[in-house]
Amino acid sequence: MLTIYSVPVAVYCAKLRIMLRHKSIAFQELPPPGGYGSDEYRSLVPSGNLPAMIHDGYMLSDSEAIAEYLEEAFPDVPMMPDTVQLRGKAREFSRSHDTRLEPSVRAIYPQVAYETRDPEAVKAGGALISKHLSSLALLLSANPLDTKTLWLCDCGFAVTFAWIKAFETALDLPITWPPIVAEYDKRLQSFPVVRDEVNAYRPAMDSYLQKAKPV
Ligand SMILES: N[C@@H](CCC(=O)N[C@@H](CS)C(=O)NCC(=O)O)C(=O)O
């Protein structure tokens, strides 16, 4: 049995669900035992982070560590390329998402609440995200990975792009989308498993964004 500890709004859990469904891996999702941030959860998952996975008694946390584990444990539908150099490039994409683009999007969360929003911080946040999108455009312009395949490194981007678009609408977040990144987003949405996850995830996003509305 494969269990993922998650909460509905968690970005990195949505990233993993795309991969699990693409590989047709049976899994169950459970809330963190004892609640998020509890001592009970930390006794099981020392980082206290979500997502975490328990697979036949084996615990692993961090979405990328879990994703690479799943790739090796369930190789039938490959989501990593078959050469060492292409795998290096796939990891470069993944890291650029997990360590740069997504953290810049997460930095907007404190600006969601309408009453305490600082318009200057929203503007600066939009500029930083746009800067990371322009770096991603450069990576994509030299992308050696087959564009007809859904790769492990694509899963996080699909979810983060959904958040950026939601923030554009809910917060007037000023974003410049390089055309190649907008095309990449469109290509990711053409995979049914991505579209289905983003649609299923949307109610959790909408619920989080309720506080963005003027009271
Ligand atoms: N790089 C980590 C990030 C995970 C992460 O930040 N998870 C959030 C929920 S989406 C969380 O657990 N935040 C609380 C914390 O960091 O203590 C991963 O890929 O798993």
Which run of H or of E encompasses 41?
helix 39-44
Ligand 1 centre to CA of 50 (Å) is: 5
Nearest Cα residue to atom 2 of ligand 1: 62
Give the model confidence (pLDDT) of 5-22 as tens digits: 999 999 999 999 999 999
Residue 202's pLDDT is what?
Answer: 97
Report residues whose beta carbon is within 6 angstroms of any ligand 1 atom. 10-12, 48-51, 62-64, 98
Q: In the chain, what are the domains?
A: 2-73 (3.40.30.10), 84-212 (1.20.1050.10)
Of ligand 1's listed atoms, the one at least distance from the Cα of 37 is 17
Identify the segments of the chain with pLDDT beneath 70. Answer: none
Closest to 12 (Cα-Cα) out of 66, 58, 48:
66
pLDDT of residue 36: 86
User: What's the gap in Å between 11 CA and the centre of ligand 1?
Assistant: 8
| 181/23 Cα distance (integer angstroms) | 25
pLDDT for position 52: 98
Of residues 4, 9, 8, 12, the one with CA closest to residue 156: 12
pLDDT at 215: 79
- Best of 13, 36, 41, 49 for a ligand 1 pocket test (most atoms within 8 Å of beta carbon): 49
5, 7, 12, 106: which to mutate for ligand 1, most atoms within 8 A of CB? 12
- Please report the pLDDT score of residue 125 as a whole number: 98
* Span from the CA of 48 to the centroid of ligand 1 (angstroms): 8
Are 90 and 80 in contact by the 8 Å Cβ rule? The answer is: yes
Give the model confidence (pLDDT) of 130-174 as tens digits: 999 999 999 999 999 999 999 999 999 999 999 999 999 999 999
pTM: 0.96
Give how far Cα 192 sits from Cα of 5, 80, 205, Å: 24, 19, 20
